[in-house]
Chains A and B, each alone.
Chain A
Amino acid sequence: MTLDLLRFTTAGSVDDGKSTLIGRLLYDSKQVFEDQLEHVAAASVRRGGEGTLDLALLTDGLRAEREQGITIDVAYRYFATAKRRFIIADCPGHQQYTRNMVTGASTADLAVILLDARKGVLEQSKRHAFISALLGIPHVVVAVNKMDLVEYSQERFDELVVEFAGFAAKLGGRAKLVYLPISALEGDNVVELSPRMDWYDGPTLLEMLEQVEVAYDHPHDTPARFPVQWVIRPFTRSPSLASSATPPTSASLAPSSAPSAGPSFAADSAGEDYRGYAGQLASGALRTGQEVMVLPSGQRTRIAAIDTFDGPLEEAVAPMSLTLRLEDELDVSRGELICHPEQAPVVGRELQADVCWLNDRPLRPRGRYLMKHTSRHATAVVEELYDRVDVHTLERTDGPEELALNDIGRVRLRTSVPLAFDPYRGNRRTGSFILIDEATNETVGAGLVVSDS
């Protein structure tokens, strides 16, 4: 099974050709509309461009970005070919770089890392590679851009491949790396194979994007993880509904008929006792009749039914949203996790994690934060801060006093309630969490589980 949706990330600054590359992909796949081009053309002229189309203006969304010629925030772009739909998380390279790259990388199946053929492997490309490896992006395409400016030289390309591979080996990521010589400006090897680099016989960038396998392609090779989000009990009215009286200034349509059930909810399953556990299958597959375990309690039962609005399923695979009914009446609530007993995650209140710090107020040992992990909330205390990686130099410092904005470091956390988690390397959904400041409610940290303490 191949999911016909690919999420990928790009990162970089204005002058390394990233905007041109995205512009090229959008333009060549006919996703740039005439009125958008008119906008860009008009703005290019206003900003003193001499009749050239500045494709960077296509991707700059906010007034301040256009005024200052910078990119502030992650922007999401969409395009499609006959084979696949694509979501690009386009991350700026310089401002708030860790914060933006980590955000964009968190949901990506693939990262495109751009190198300038003239300049070689610069700090920013290294940083992007480091974050891609840390965030467990399974596929990395190293696109050596501006080949037109080095006379399409195979020798230069080979040099850069050796240089980058040497650096990547130190990162220890498990991504599959592929290298590709392109010219985004001229269109070489982006959508069309280049006639000017006949020494290159691999696929074009677009072909790679169309063919690469995504994590969900092999649900049967991955342990099932089903965090319960919401309990569906049709005959218990929720307090928020019960208390919303008809407001004085509004017309209200309140028909007396019961809500129409979907075709799947036949009378036998939607009876008085209906109790369904709703959530999104984070990984793996579940089948009706299978034995399952509920964590952290460890109670065991079997799957009585897998309900969806479109009918019951014999088997469900990630990333489907569904509703499970269980054979035994257990008291399962939001935040608990359903899995197969023989492939259970770790359950515990202590864990080691890498944390990317996203806030001006630094993380310090003994710091206390709210934590959201799958659908579960906890309070987490930083028991220990082991080290810090400087994302400029990638140097590691032991025993730092704090993690500042854009720092990444290893911590040990203790949580107020037991969590069912996996190492991030094994499962991006049950191995990730966010930290929230209790006072400001801001999202201040992104966490990747390394192990239980």
Chain B
Amino acid sequence: MYPRWIWRVAALPGTLWLSVFFLVAFYAVICVAFGNSDTLQQPVPFWNPLDWNVGYVVQELRNLWHGGAVLDVFLRTVKYVVIAIALSLLIGFPVAYFAARHAGRWRGIVLMLLIIPFWINYLMRMIAWQSLLAPDGYGSRFFHDTGIEWVFMQLGLLETQGGWLQGQSSAVVLALVYGYVPYLVLPLYAALDRIDRRTIEAARDLGATPRSAFMRVTLPQAVPGLLAGLVLITLPMFGDYYTPDLISTTTATSMIGNQIDGRVNGGSEKVSGAVLTIFLSLFLLVLMVYYLRQTRSAGREVEAE
């Protein structure tokens, strides 16, 4: 009923916008990374791919390598993210499971309470912890009085009493968990909510114990949504630099995002910053592709219905 070209035209402005401000922007990063820099260390991008100088990038990587310092940051970032993801899952799954399955008449309220932190500015939530974890803050005192501080110190996760903000990896990881869990809980909730209850009831009717019904029916159906949710918080965590900045002021907790930020925004090493940005993007590409495929197939299912 509509002319065939109309949808293509409708999509055109948005497509152009994204092409220019996303694709070309990313191309600019590549051109900077493979380009030159002037004597004032300002980037001189090479726009023609034929001019791209692999030698520069190799040299840049060699500079970056510098005794493996960058590798250390990278491994540290991976470590933080993996631990934070595991903890997020440990916290997020039961909560989402409860909200989706057992909240009953509380469901609306529980859901609202889960959504609220989602919409509170990330920085504000970090700043809240900043004052809570100050040596005389309520949080520090609470941890001290409840013995949580003692446990952390026994486990070697905290060096000194009240020293939460003194460059402690544990504090940074917990801050990451606190910051990103809300973004995991809701997709998890959605994934669990989508599971058809009748499949679980059928399993129970066929004699499955609650435990095996969970393991063999619920969980497998939840896994794709779960992985998608995990990817959704993993990607921004890898690019995080503000959390370590606010929760610790030492180099001991610096993440790959801090390196990029320090080179591009804080200092005058835009070229090596661009190289690191590309490196990070390539590393995350696998996760991105997984997520995109996941959403695409989910989208197809929706359309098929």
Partners in one complex: no
B: residues with CB less than 8 A from A are: none
